[in-house]
């Protein structure tokens, strides 16, 4: 079988890095990669050619591949160039309706969106969202520290003692936990908000203070994600966040609800009440943002408070992000193709969750 790797122009990621090529070659796969596919991630074509990978034009990769690997860099008008029995693997934002998603569900090839993987132990090694979120959480702290005009750790100097910076993290999912761990390693004092009481011990084990707001709603069916909260809870949460933010030097927001608009956690009055020189990193701007006045992929300054909006902070770490993404895809394919391409376990929850196909009732009504 031929595995083809497509270039992604929207992100600095490539779906197969040179270090992962040898894993596929042990399985007797022939590999093709689109010209320049790894350049944005600092993996030039010659690194692939040295490993026996064929570097080819996009049309050739589309037409000849039995398995196509991408991020989400495939266009609707290219789907008719793909083999009918091919597998297309990427992360296509499967919880948000789009023209591309509809086309992938209806095309004759089988498309798999890895952002729909279930939160299970067996799927952990394939979890692209967790892998990239962890890198983003790390980068958020580094970016915040770079834009904050002071030390993060406590410093004792001949001129006196400088207290540690105060960092507030909103959301203790994968990105939030990595942000907490990174800020702790840099010596900051950390306070954390999350609606899920189950993360309290994990937050405290990393050396942060967990701030609880009574009355949070939780659901075992949410797959580890936060769910929409009551108006009363949101009001209490915003007031406590307001009081904490005013004392903070760096605020990192990571709260996302899959397929829905991100909750607004920091209001305009809170931004304007913060100290001049403070920094906010909003990691939810692609879905509306957790912070009033934040803009996606932009930095704005409000009365001396800098707000950096960036949902894809992992994009600044192309080489490492591509490495983990490549391994996630390899682990997924190893599981799905364990018994060969003719014996894919379609009844398994990993395959059922990720396979993009029109539901039976939709097909009938159409």
Check if 130 is active-site.
Answer: yes
Set 81, 225, 233, 296: catalytic member: 225
Angle of helix 128-147 relative to helix 318-336, nearest 10 degrees, comes to 170
List the alpha helices (DSSP H) in 148-278. 174-185, 200-205, 231-245, 268-273
Is 124 considered catalytic here? Answer: yes
Paired sense of beta strands 305-309 and 279-282, if any:
parallel
Distance from the first to the final alpha carbon of the chain: 34
Is residue 151 among the annotated active site residues? no
Residue 188: exposed, middle, or buried by beta-carbon count in 10 A (0-12, 13-18, 19+)?
Answer: buried
Q: How many C-beta neighbours within 10 Å does residue 352 have?
A: 13
Q: Which of 127, 194, 282, 310 is catalytic?
A: 127
Annotation says 278 is catalytic: no
Residue of 124, 204, 243, 261 with catalytic role:
124
Choice among 130, 134, 229, 278 that is catalytic: 130
Residue of 46, 80, 98, 119 marked catalytic: 119
119 is catalytic: yes
Contact call for residues 161 and 152 (beta carbons, < 8 A)? no
Sequence-ordered list of residues with C-beta below 8 angstroms from that of 160, at least 6 positions apart, any chain: none
Q: Is 323 left (phi over 0), alpha (psi -120 to 50) or beta?
A: alpha
Q: Which of 37, 77, 33 is nearest to 56 (CA)?
A: 33
Catalytic sites, residue numbers: 119, 124, 127, 130, 225
């Amino acid at each position: 079988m031929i595995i083809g790797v497509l270039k992604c122009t929207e992100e600095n990621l490539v779906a197969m890095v040179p270090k992962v090529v040898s894993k596929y070659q042990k399985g007797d796969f022939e590999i093709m990669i689109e010209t320049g596919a790894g350049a944005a991630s600092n993996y030039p074509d010659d690194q692939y050619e040295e490993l026996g990978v064929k570097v080819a034009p996009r049309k050739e990769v589309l037409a000849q591949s039995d398995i196509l690997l991408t991020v989400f860099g495939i266009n609707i008008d290219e789907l008719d160039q793909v083999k009918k029995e091919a597998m297309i693997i990427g992360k296509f934002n499967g919880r948000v309706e789009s023209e591309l998603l509809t086309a992938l569900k209806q095309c004759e090839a089988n498309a798999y969106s890895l952002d729909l993987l279930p939160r299970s132990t067996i799927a952990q090694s394939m979890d692209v969202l967790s892998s990239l979120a962890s890198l983003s959480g790390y980068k958020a702290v580094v970016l915040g520290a770079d834009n904050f005009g002071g030390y993060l750790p406590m410093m004792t100097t001949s001129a006196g003692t400088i207290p540690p910076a105060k960092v507030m993290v909103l959301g203790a999912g994968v990105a939030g936990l990595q942000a907490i761990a990174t800020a702790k390693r840099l010596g900051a004092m950390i306070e954390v908000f999350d609606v899920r009481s189950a993360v309290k011990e994990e937050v405290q084990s990393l050396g942060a203070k967990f701030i609880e707001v009574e009355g949070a709603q939780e659901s075992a069916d949410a797959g580890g994600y936060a769910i929409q909260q009551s108006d009363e809870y949101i009001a209490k949460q915003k007031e406590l966040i307001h009081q904490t933010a005013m004392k903070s030097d760096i605020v990192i927001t990571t709260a996302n609800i899959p397929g829905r608009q991100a909750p607004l956690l920091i209001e305009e009055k809170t931004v304007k009440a913060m100290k001049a020189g403070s920094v906010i990193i909003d990691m939810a701007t692609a879905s509306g943002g957790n912070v009033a006045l934040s803009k996606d992929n932009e930095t704005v300054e409000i009365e001396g408070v800098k707000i950096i909006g960036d949902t894809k902070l992992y994009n600044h770490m192309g080489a490492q992000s591509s490495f983990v993404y490549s391994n996630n895809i390899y682990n997924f394919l190893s599981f799905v193709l364990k018994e060969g391409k003719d014996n894919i376990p379609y009844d398994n929850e990993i395959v059922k969750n990720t396979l993009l196909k029109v539901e039976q009732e939709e097909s009938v009504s159409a």
